[in-house]
Amino acid sequence: MEFNTKLLHGNAVKRYQDGATVPPISQVNAFSYDSAEQLEKVFDNRAPGFAYSRISNPVVDAFEQRVNELEGGLGALACSSGMAAITAALLNILQEGDELIAGNGLFGGTIDLFQDLKAFGIQTKFVHHLTVEEIEPLVTDKTRAVFGEVIGNPGLDVVDIRSVADFVHTKKLPLLLDSTTATPYLVQPLALGADIVIHSSSKYMNGGGNAVSGVIVDGGRFSWDAKRYPGMKAYLKHGPFAYLAKLRNGIWRNMGGCLAPMNAFLNIVGMETLGLRMEKICENAKLLAQALQQTEGVTVNYPALETNVYKQLVQEQLHGMGGGILTIRVGTKEQAYRLMNRLKFACKATNIGDVRTLVIHPASTIYLHSNEQQKEAAGVYPDTIRVSVGIEDAQDLIHDFTEAQKEISVYGGRKERR
Ligand X SMILES: *Cc1c(COP(=O)(O)O)cnc(C)c1O
Q: Which residues bind ligand X (CB under 6 A)?
A: 81-83, 107, 109-110, 149, 153, 178, 180-181, 200, 202-203, 212, 214, 352
Q: How many residues does the chain have?
A: 418
- Contact present, 252 and 92 (Cβ < 8 Å): yes
Which residue minimizes CB distance to ligand X? Answer: 82
Q: What is the DSSP string of 127-155?
A: -SS--HHHHGGG--TTEEEEEEESB-TTT
Nearer to ligand X by Cβ, of 71 and 400: the residue is 71
d(CA 216, CA 75): 8
Nearer to ligand X by Cβ, of 23 and 103: the residue is 103
Q: What is the CA radius of gyration of the chain?
A: 22
Contacts for 296-300: CB closer than 8 Å, 24+ residues apart: 296/405, 296/409, 297/330, 297/331, 297/335, 297/405, 297/409, 298/328, 298/329, 298/330, 298/405, 299/328, 299/329, 300/326, 300/327, 300/328
- Contact present, 124 and 102 (Cβ < 8 Å): yes
Shortest Å, Cβ 116 to ligand X: 14
Shortest Å, Cβ 409 to ligand X: 31
Shortest Å, Cβ 238 to ligand X: 28
Nearer to ligand X by Cβ, of 151 and 232: the residue is 151
Strands 325-329 and 299-301: antiparallel
Shortest Å, Cβ 181 to ligand X: 6
Nearer to ligand X by Cβ, of 251 and 404: the residue is 251
d(CA 227, CA 377): 35
Shortest Å, Cβ 153 to ligand X: 4
Shortest Å, Cβ 412 to ligand X: 31
Shortest Å, Cβ 88 to ligand X: 12
Nearer to ligand X by Cβ, of 73 and 82: the residue is 82
d(CA 387, CA 390): 9
Shortest Å, Cβ 205 to ligand X: 10
d(CA 69, CA 31): 26
Nearer to ligand X by Cβ, of 196 and 408: the residue is 196
Nearer to ligand X by Cβ, of 110 and 308: the residue is 110
Strands 143-149 and 99-102: parallel
Nearer to ligand X by Cβ, of 112 and 136: the residue is 112
